Amino acid sequence: MMEIGLNHYLVLSTILFAIGLVGVMRRKNLLLLFFATEILLNAVNVAFAAISHYYGDLTGQMFAFFVIAIAASEVAVGLGLLIVWYKRHNSIDLDALTSMKG
Amino acid sequence: MFEAIAFYLFAFLTIAMFFITVTTSQALYALTALAAGMIFISAFFFILGADFLGVVQIIVYTGAVMALYAFGMMFFDTTRDVKEKQGNKFIIVGLSTLAAILVVVVVAVPMVSQNIVALYPAIDGVGNTQGVGMVLFTKYLIPFEVAAIMLLVAMVAGIVLAGKKMDLSITLMNDAEIKEKNKKVLS
C-alpha cells in the first residue's frame, strides 16, 4: 500500500488512457477531440517515465521526449487545418466532415 | 511514505482534471482543466526522478501547446455549448477500458517475463539532465535530428495553413469591404 511500484503507475496510465479514449469516442467538436488525444499521449508518457525509472534505463525518457515533440507538431498542423476548415464551413463539428458520403 | 501521499494526491487530481476535460460542455473549462492536468502530470515525472522531462512537460505542454490552443480558440465560436454524440455509454466506456488494458498488457508482458535488461543504463554520479544529454546526443542523435526537421516542417505547415489571407488588414477596411470579403471566403 505505502510502497509505490511500477504497477501503480501502469494502473494510473491505464485509467488516464481510458479517459482519453472515452473523450475521443464521445466528442463531436474537433477542438475537444484534439484535447482528448493530448490526454492519450500524456497517459503513455507517464508509463514511459515510470518504466524508465524502475528499470534504470533512460530509453523510456527518450521516447517520452519524442512523443512530446510529435504532440507539439501535431497541434501546429492540426490547428492550421482546423482554422482553414472553420473559415470555409463556419463550424468544427465532426458531422460537417461527411462530405465524402455517397 | 511521502512518495505514496504525493502519488495518490496527484493521481486523484490528474484523473479529476482529465475527467472534467472530456465531460464538460464548455470549451474554455476543458482547456483550463487540460492545462492543470498537464501540470499535475509533470509532478509524476519529478517523483520518478525524471527532472528534465518534468520541466519539458511544463514548458512545452503548458507553455506552448496550451497557448497555441488558446490562440486557436480565438478563431472559433467557443461560447456556445458543445453537442455530444448520443451513443450507448456502456459500449463507449467498455470499449475504451478494454483498449486501454490491452495497451498496458502489450507494454507489460515483456516485463512480466523478466527478460528485459537496461539497454542504456542510467549513469552513476551524474544528474538526470546530464544523463539525458549523454544518451540523447550519442545513441539517439539521428532521431533527435529527425524530430527537429519534423518540427520545422510542422511550423512551416502551420504558417501556410493558418496564414492564408493574412495580408488583408481587417482593421483598415470599412464594413462594406469586410462583408464582401466574408462572402467570398465563406462561399
Q: What is the pLDDT of residues B11-65, one digit of tens each?
A: 999 999 999 998 888 888 899 999 999 999 999 999 998 899 999 999 998 888 8
Note whether B82 contacts A10, CB cutoff 8 Å.
no
Note whether A58 contacts B87, CB cutoff 8 Å.
no
Q: Number of residue pairs across A and B with CB atoms under 8 Å? A: 233
Q: Is residue A1 part of a domain?
A: no
Note whether B154 contacts A86, CB cutoff 8 Å.
no
Residues of B within 8 A of A5 (CB-CB) are none
- Provide the shortest C-alpha distance from residue B174 to chain A (in Å): 20
**Mean pLDDT to the nearest integer, B121-135:** 80
Q: Is residue A102 part of a domain?
A: no
Q: What is the pLDDT of residues A53-77, one digit of tens each?
A: 888 888 888 999 999 999 999 998 9
Q: B26-64 burial, b for 16+ CB within 10 Å, e for fewer?
A: bbeebbbbbbbbbbbbbbbbbbbebebbbebbbebbbee
Q: Which domain holds residue A63?
A: 8-91
**What separation in angstroms does the CA of A95 have from each of A85, B45, B90?**
13, 38, 22
Percent of chain B with pLDDT over 90: 30
- Provide the shortest C-alpha distance from residue B173 to chain A (in Å): 19
What is the number of domains present in chain A? 1
17-46 in chain A: CB under 8 A from chain B? 17-23, 25-29, 31-32, 34-36, 38-39, 42, 44-46
pTM of the entire structure?
Answer: 0.83
Residues of B within 8 A of A66 (CB-CB) are 143, 147
Q: How many residues does chain B have?
A: 187
Across the interface, which of A46, A69, A70 has its CB nearest the CB of B44? A46
Across the interface, which of B34, B50, B93 has its CB nearest the CB of A53? B50
Q: How many residues does chain A have?
A: 102
B137 φ, ψ to 5°?
-95, 5
Neighbours of B176 (CB within 10 A): 8
| Topology (CATH) of B1-84 | Four Helix Bundle (Hemerythrin (Met), subunit A) (1.20.120)
CA-CA-CA-CA torsion for B105, B91, B35, B1, nearest 10 degrees? -50
Note whether A45 contacts B41, CB cutoff 8 Å.
yes
Judged by a CB distance cut-off of 8 A, whether residue A81 touches chain B is yes
Long-range contacts of B75-80 (CB under 8 A, 24+ apart): B75/A83, B75/A86, B75/A87, B76/A31, B76/A82, B76/A86, B76/A92, B76/B27, B78/A31, B78/B27, B78/B28
Across the interface, which of B21, B101, B119 has its CB nearest the CB of A39? B21
Contacts with A96 (C-beta within 8 Å, 6 or more apart), sequence order: A89
CATH number where A46 lies = 1.10.287.3510
The complex's ipTM works out to 0.90
Note whether B158 contacts A79, CB cutoff 8 Å.
yes
The three-state DSSP-derived secondary structure of A9-41 is HHHHHHHHHHHHHHHHHHECEHHHHHHHHHHHH
pLDDT, averaged per 10 consecutive residues of chain A (102 residues), comes to 81 89 85 90 91 86 91 90 80 76 67
